[in-house]
């Protein structure tokens, strides 16, 4: 086998020296080049992963905020609809109350006017009866004056007034 190695021109010491040189070069490259590059790539990959996680977190928060704002908007609209319906109902109730109050007042006014009219009618009738009684008494007094004495005359006048 040595012959074959010599024929091929392979020098064992040279190969050994090249292997040592390669090992030193590999150590130096690994220590001073590959190590820093790999650690820099790992840090960069971690930053990218952190940024991606942060972006996903922000996206989740945005979705939660959006959902919350939609729910709040729906609740606000529901409350506004309820308040509007309540206001309409209150307005209708107020309208019914005002109408009932107005009807009651107008009824009282009509009743009071009817009462006043009856009072005026009764007063007028009393005055009319009084005037008629006085006229009848005068007429009767004139007719009877000639035939009846004064005592009977007063009694008859009083009976006529009482009668009327």
State how far the Cα of 57 lies from the Cα of 126, in Å rounded to an integer.
Answer: 101
**Has residue 148 got a pLDDT over 70?**
no
State how far the Cα of 132 lies from the Cα of 136, in Å rounded to an integer.
Answer: 6
pLDDT number for residue 59: 95
**Has residue 101 got a pLDDT over 90?**
yes
**Has residue 93 got a pLDDT over 90?**
yes
Under DSSP, the state recorded for 148 is S
- Contact between 109 and 125 under an 8 Å Cβ cutoff? The reply is no
Helices (H) and strands (E) in the chain, counts: 4, 0
Structural tokens at position 127: 């005055």
pLDDT band per the 50, 70, 90 thresholds, residue 1? low
pLDDT, tens digit, 9 for 90 and up, residues 31-77: 888 888 988 999 999 999 999 999 999 999 999 999 999 999 999 99
- What is the residue extent of each domain of the chain? 2-163
Structural tokens at position 137: 């008494």
**Has residue 157 got a pLDDT over 70?**
yes
Nearest by Cα to 144 from 153, 135, 132, 154: 153
**Has residue 154 got a pLDDT over 70?**
yes
- Contact between 157 and 136 under an 8 Å Cβ cutoff? The reply is no
């Amino acid at each position: 086998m040595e012959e074959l190695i010599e024929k091929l021109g392979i020098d064992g010491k040279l190969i050994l020296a090249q292997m040592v040189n390669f090992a030193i070069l590999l150590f130096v490259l690994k220590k001073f080049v590959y190590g820093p590059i790999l650690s820099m790539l790992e840090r960069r990959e971690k930053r990218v992963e952190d940024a991606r996680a942060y972006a996903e977190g922000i996206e989740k928060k945005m979705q939660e905020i959006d959902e919350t704002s939609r729910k709040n908007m729906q609740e606000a609209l529901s409350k506004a609809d309820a308040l509007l319906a309540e206001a309409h109902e209150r307005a209708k109730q107020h309208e019914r109350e005002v109408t009932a109050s107005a009807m009651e007042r107008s009824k009282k006014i009509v009743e009071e006017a009817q009462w006043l009219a009856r009072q005026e009618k009764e007063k007028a009738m009393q005055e009319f009866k009084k005037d008629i009684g006085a006229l009848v008494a005068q007429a009767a007094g004139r007719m009877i004056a000639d035939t009846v004495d004064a005592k009977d005359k007063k009694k008859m006048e009083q009976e006529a007034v009482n009668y009327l």
